Amino acid sequence: MAHASTEETNIENAPNTALMARRTPIDMSLPGDESISHPEVFIKQSKWRRVRIAATASVAVSLVLAITLGGLFLSQDYLKLHKVFRGDAPTADALKPTAAASLLKGQSSGRVNVLVLGRDGSDHANPDVTNTVMVASIDTINHTTTLMSVPSNLWVNVPNTGLMKMGAVWQSGEFNFLNSKTTGSTDPKAIAAGFKTADQTVSQVLGVNINYNVVVNIQALQQMVDTVGGITVNVPTELVDPTMAWQNGNNPVLAQAGTQTMNGKQAYLYVSSKETTSDFARDQRQSQVLSALVDKMMTASTYSSPSEINSLLDTFGNNVSTDMSLSDAGKLYKVVQNVSTNVSYLDMTDAPNQLIVTGNANGQAVDIPQAGLFNYSAIKQYVASQLVNPFLIKENAKVLVLNGTDVSGLATTMGSTLRADNYNVLGAANAPSNVAKTTLIDLNKNDKYTNASLEQKLHLKSVNKLPNKSIPTDGADFVIIIGDNEANTSQN
């Protein structure tokens, strides 16, 4: 074979270890959004305040565990649970095997995405503003969870509504449905409208579909914490807030640094204080306390106490809403039990992936994409590149790309593209002879998802035999031989 050159070399012969470290939804789109120009909004870039995420890393999974505890408490008080679960009408048969056999939304793709919203109610003018906006993406195949946090100060353009911070989006959906700015609505349809608006906006930013929603009133923490007998919290730095001293016996020190046990009032003051080292510190404190609370709820002492269970159900019933059905909550609980300790966090605020920066819009501090106002393409691409399709992870099939043309570089280019799409590419090299058409050879015959995925990507059907037995496979499960048809296309 007379190739134009022999520049085809292994892309990276090392195994694709990143494949196993990343997680991605399969229903993810990557539109190339253009930056939208709004003359009336002046954006001034400023130094990004670094975010410490240690306390945040398990909160979304913890909160999902909290609301799905209802699956285990069904026999305790069904009517109280009915106030929480606002999805399809739950039934007393919710946890029977026939119901459990059906799949959760998104589970057929190997991933269930839950949007977690936290409202604290301390802003009496806007009690439905959500200071916590986080997606828990649960890989039901490999038993892992990835968290993606959207800053509540992110400046977004909500369709049919207008410009606002992300924290106001859920509230705006409620208001539009009610046709009034009535806060604190318990109307299930208004709550659902808020969920729908939040889902659309979060999906626009991250590029992931939302399957379920949870909103929790942070003010309920005080009662919950007291019910379980207090929680253990490691306070990173002393929290001093003179504006809340009157609620703390005239003591401005709301929390000393270090590990300590907090009662309900202490926990509430800790998460409610607006005294922060950054715009994100308050969200981190809320996340930290929620995580500690659920850790305590999951202990055997809580399970064995009917009075504690009933008290928690009362609190949940009045302060937690979700669009899950009780049946779905029971099934999700079983899934989350297996992944709650295997959690990773996608950070989009710090180098080398500083995709969101601070700015100013209409005289108020906001967060915006690094790429430009309303340009989420880089954020979506980062999410897609850092997360791997669950079925692709499970199979982890090895792919070898060979150039069967006289045009140099084709195998290297295709191999790089496949690696960027999270395929486990062994390398790229020259084929021993030219081939007329690109061929996909499935040597393993067991990696059905990878086979179907490559067929779709390459627009061809796989075969099971090499066209030439002398072709080295280097232990690959799949061999792609690029043919002259691809060379002709690349030259046109």
Residue located via tokens 């003591």: 251
State the pLDDT at residue 221.
73
pLDDT at 50: 30
Which one is predicted more confidently, 49 or 153? 153
- DSSP code, position 323: S
- What's residue 329's pLDDT? 74
pLDDT at 104 over 60: yes
For residues 186 and 315, state if they share a domain: yes
In terms of domains, do 330 and 424 share one?
no
Q: Identify whether residues 404 and 442 lie together within a single domain.
A: yes
Residue 108 lies in a domain: yes
Percent of the chain with pLDDT over 90: 33
Please report whether residue 224 resides in a domain.
yes
Q: Which of 342, 357, 386 is the last residue of a domain?
A: 386
Length of the chain: 492
85 and 223 part of one domain: yes
Q: Is the peptide bond before 15 cis (omega within 30 degrees of 0)?
A: no
Residues 466, 485: Cα–Cα separation, whole Å:
18
Assess if residue 53 is contained within a domain: no
Report the distance separating Cα 35 and Cα 376, nearest Å.
8
For residue 109, what is the domain's CATH number? Answer: 3.40.630.190
In a domain, 328, yes or no: yes
Residue 30 lies in a domain: no
Comparing 121-135, 161-175, 245-259, 271-285, the range with the smallest average pLDDT is 271-285
The pTM of this model reads: 0.70
Greater confidence, 224 or 431? Answer: 431
On whether both 67 and 88 belong to a single domain, the answer is yes
Distance CA 453, CA 402 (A): 19
The answer as to whether 199 is a domain residue is yes
pLDDT-based confidence at residue 447 (cuts at 50, 70, 90): very high
Given a contact cutoff of 8 angstroms between Cβ atoms, the answer to whether 115 and 135 are in contact is: yes
Q: If we measure between CA atoms, which residue out of 387, 289, 320 comes closest to residue 19?
A: 387
Each residue's pLDDT tens digit, 41-88:
433 333 323 323 333 333 444 455 455 544 444 334 444 444 555 554
Higher pLDDT, residue 127 or 110: 110
3-state SS, 26-48, equals CCCCCCCCCCCCCCCCCCCCECC
Of 113-122, 310-319, 347-356, 472-481, give the range with the top mean pLDDT.
Answer: 472-481
Same domain, 177 and 281: yes
- For the record, the structure tokens of 5 come out as 């050159």
| Domain match, 104 and 127 both | yes
| CA 443/CA 478 separation, integer angstroms | 6
- Give the Cα separation of 294 and 477 in Å (integer): 44
**How much is the pLDDT for 492?**
54
213 has pLDDT over 80:
yes
| Number of other CB atoms surrounding residue 5 within 10 Å | 10
pLDDT over 60 (residue 392): yes
Evaluate whether residue 8 is within a structural domain. no
Q: What tens digit of pLDDT does each residue of 273-292 get?
A: 877 655 557 667 876 787 67
**Nearest to 356, CA basis, from 340, 345, 335, 372:** 372
Please tell me whether residues 247 and 101 are part of one structural domain.
Answer: yes
3-state secondary structure of 211: coil
Instruction: Tell me the DSSP string of 126-148.
Output: STT-EEEEEEEEEETTTTEEEEE
Neighbours of 392 (CB within 10 A): 23
Q: Per the structure, how many domains does the chain have?
A: 2
pLDDT at 208: 94
pLDDT at 64: 55
Distance in angstroms (rounded) separating the CA atoms of residues 350 and 183: 35
CATH of residue 430: 3.30.70.2390
Of 23-27, 236-240, 375-379, where does the model show the most confidence?
Answer: 375-379
Which of 13-22, 159-168, 350-359 is least confident?
A: 13-22
Average pLDDT taken over every residue of the chain? 75
pLDDT computed for residue 4 by the predictor: 43
More confident residue, 276 or 195: 195
What six digits make up the tokens of 472? Answer: 């080295």
pLDDT classification of 1: cutoffs 50, 70, 90: very low
End position of a domain, from candidates 361, 386, 411: 386
Bridge partners, residue 382, by sequence = none
Q: Tell me, yes or no, whether 282 and 431 share the same domain.
A: no
* Residue 351 sits in the same domain as residue 402: no
Domain limit, last residue, from 362, 386, 410 = 386
In this predicted structure, the answer to whether residue 164 has a pLDDT above a threshold of 50 is: yes
Q: How far apart are CA 452 and CA 456, in angstroms?
A: 6
Residue 319 sits in the same domain as residue 447: no
What integer pLDDT is reported at residue 147 of this predicted model? 80
Per-residue pLDDT averaged across 437-452, rounded? Answer: 93
Residue 305 structural domain: 59-386
User: Does any domain span residue 23?
Assistant: no
pLDDT at residue 146 above 50?
Answer: yes
258 in the same domain as 186? yes
Q: What does the alpha-carbon distance between residue 367 and residue 153 come to, in Å, rounded to a whole number?
A: 5
Q: What is the mean pLDDT of residues 98-117?
A: 78
